[in-house]
Structure 1
Amino acid sequence: MAAAVAAVGGTMLLAGGPSFTNPAPPAASAPTAPAATRLVGIGHAAIAVPEQWARNQLGCGTPQKDTVIIDAGPQDLCLVNRPKGVESVQVRSGKPIGFQTDETFQLDGVRAERQRTTCTGDSPLTVCSGTVYIPSLDVAFQAESSTNADEVHSILARIMIVPDTVGVPVPLFSEANPAARFGEEYADRLTALGLKPSIQARKSPGSIPGTILAVSPSPGTMLTPGATVTVTAAAHP
C-alpha cells in the first residue's frame, strides 16, 4: 500500500471541501499519460486507462471485460459473475456510499483520501477493490480486479490532476425529482467547469420536460477549457 501511495503522491497540501465548481489546481505543468493509455475523468481529475479498455462493458452491472465505468445508466437486475482476470475502474462524482478514509496522501498538490484495498470471495474467484476520493474536486475512482490486489494498486497509481484539460462531468439526478437529470442544472455545472453548454431540445414522449437525453462528447471525455458540450434535453410540450 505504501508503495502505491508513493507512486501517486505529491508534495503540497490544499485545503477545501467538496465542490462542483472543480477549480483548476495550481500545478506547474500537466502530467503526461503513460504510452498506450487514454485519459478519462471529471473536471480536473483523471485516470489513465489502457487504450484497449472498453467503456461500460457490464452485465447486470458487473464488468465482463477490462473496462472503465462512467455514466453507465440503469442496469438490469440479475446475477452475473465477474470473469477471472477482469480489471475495471469506476469514475464518479461524489463520495461513494460506504467510503471510509484509511489514509490521506498528496496527488499532484491536491489532498486525496484512500480506502484500503480489500479482497472478497473464495478461490478461484476473488475480487479486490480499492478507492481514491479527492474531496476538493468531489471525484472518486473505484478500482476492482478479479486478478489480485496488485492490479488495484496499479490502476489507482495512474490517477492524476490535469489543470489544462477538463473532463465532461456526469449529469446528476435531481434531488427535487430523483427520476430525472435536468439540462439547466447540468448546464450550470458545465459552465462552472469552464466548458460551454449548448442545449438542444428534442421531443421525447413520456419524458419529463428538461430531462437530459444525451450528452456529446460523452461524460469522461477530456476537453480543452471553453470547448462546447451539446446537451440534448426533452422538449417542453
Structure 2
Amino acid sequence: MDQPELRDRLATAAVVVTVVAVIGVTNALAAGRGSGTGPLPGPEPAPIVMRQVGYGHAAIAVPRVWGTNVSRCGVPRRDTVLIDDPSAAGDCDLPRPEDVSSVELATAPPVGFRLDDTFMVNGVRAERSWTTCSDDDVCWGAVGLPSLKVWFRASSSRSAAEVDQILSRIAVLRDRVGVPSTQSLDSAAYADQLRRLGLKVEFRTRTSVVSKPGRLVGVSPEPGTVLAPGDAVTLTVIK
C-alpha cells in the first residue's frame, strides 16, 4: 500500500472514531438527564395572541380565543367579551361556571361602581372601582374613562388577580377607533356618532311589517370592533 492511500484510510478512520465518540457522549448526556434530572425541557409555550375591543378611542386587549357574547341571561358561559349583550335582558339566575373570565363594555358606570381611585391612561383620566369578590367566589372590578364615556367591567371566577390583569390592558387609541355601542340610539344619531369618530357610514335597507321605518337593525362590523379612521361601517335600517 502506497503512502497516499494509507493516509486516506487513516483520515477516514479518524473521522469515524470522532463521530462515534460524539454520538456516545450525546447519548450519555441524554441518558444522564433522563435518569438524574428529569425529562428534557420542552418547547416554549406559544405566546397568547391578543385582540383589541373598544368603543371610540378607548379599548381593552383580550385573548383572541375569547368569544363575544358567549352568555346566557347575561352570565358568561366561557371566557368572553360582552358587548351590547342581547342575553342580558333575561333573568334566569344562572350560576357562573368555574374558571371563566369576562369583560363587559358599557357607556355608563356599571351597577355597584364605586370611585376608589383615579389615575391616567395615555393622558386621559380614569376612575377605578377596586376588585372585590362575592360569596360565590366571583370577583369583579371596573375602570371608566368618563371623558370618553366608556367603562370596562371585568369579572372572573378564577381570582381577583385575574380581574386586575384584565383591567391593566386598557388603552386610549390615538390612531384607531372602536365601533361604538348602538344602545339608545336611532339610525340617524348613530350614523352621526360614527362620522364624528372618523368612520365612513354606508346604508343597507330591509323591509319589515313589524318595525318602524328608520329603525337600526344591524351594524357591520359589529360594535366593539377596532378599525382605522376612514373605514366603513354598514348600517342596516328598516325602510
Which of 69, 78, 86 is 1:56 aligned to?
Answer: 69
Structure 2 gap ranges (5+):
1-46
CA distance in 2, matches of 1:60, 1:35: 29
**Partner residue, 2:10:** none
The C-alpha deviation readout for 1:113-132, integer Å capped at 9, x for no partner, is 001111112xxx41101000
Which of 147, 159, 184 is 2:188 aligned to?
Answer: 184
Tell me how far 1:88 sits from its aligned partner: 0.2
Tell me how far 1:136 sits from its aligned partner: 1.0
TM-score, normalised relative to structure 1: 0.78
**Partner residue, 2:85:** 72
Tell me how far 1:35 sits from its aligned partner: 5.2
May I ask how many residue pairs the two structures share in their alignment? Answer: 192
**Partner residue, 2:236:** 232
Aligned counterparts, 1:92-107, within 5 A: 92-107=106-121
What letter is aligned with 1:134?
A: L
**Partner residue, 1:149:** 160
CA distance in 2, matches of 1:200, 1:221: 19
Gap change, CA 1:229 and 1:81, over 3 Å in 2: same
**Partner residue, 1:171:** 182
- Contact 1:172–1:186 (8 Å) recurs in 2: no
| Dislocated runs of 4+, deviation >6 Å | none
The C-alpha deviation readout for 1:150-180, integer Å capped at 9, x for no partner, is 000000001111111000001121xxxxxxx
- Contact 1:183–1:199 (8 Å) recurs in 2: no
Tell me how far 1:53 sits from its aligned partner: 0.5
**Partner residue, 1:89:** 103
The C-alpha deviation readout for 1:184-213, integer Å capped at 9, x for no partner, is 010011011111111222112211221111
CA distance in 2, matches of 1:86, 1:119: 14
CA distance in 1, matches of 2:219, 2:107: 16
Tell me how far 1:183 sits from its aligned partner: 0.5
Structure with more of its chain in helix, by fraction: 2
What letter is aligned with 1:138?
A: K
Whether 2:208 is the aligned partner of 1:193: answer no
Whether 2:229 is the aligned partner of 1:218: answer no
CA distance in 2, matches of 1:150, 1:233: 43
- Contact 1:42–1:220 (8 Å) recurs in 2: yes
**Partner residue, 2:32:** none
The C-alpha deviation readout for 1:88-129, integer Å capped at 9, x for no partner, is 0001222324422110001111110001111112xxx41101
**Partner residue, 1:12:** none
Which of 100, 118, 132 is 2:143 aligned to?
Answer: 132
CA RMSD of aligned residues (A): 1.4
**Partner residue, 1:38:** 51
Structure 1 gap ranges (5+):
1-33, 174-180
CA distance in 2, matches of 1:90, 1:204: 31
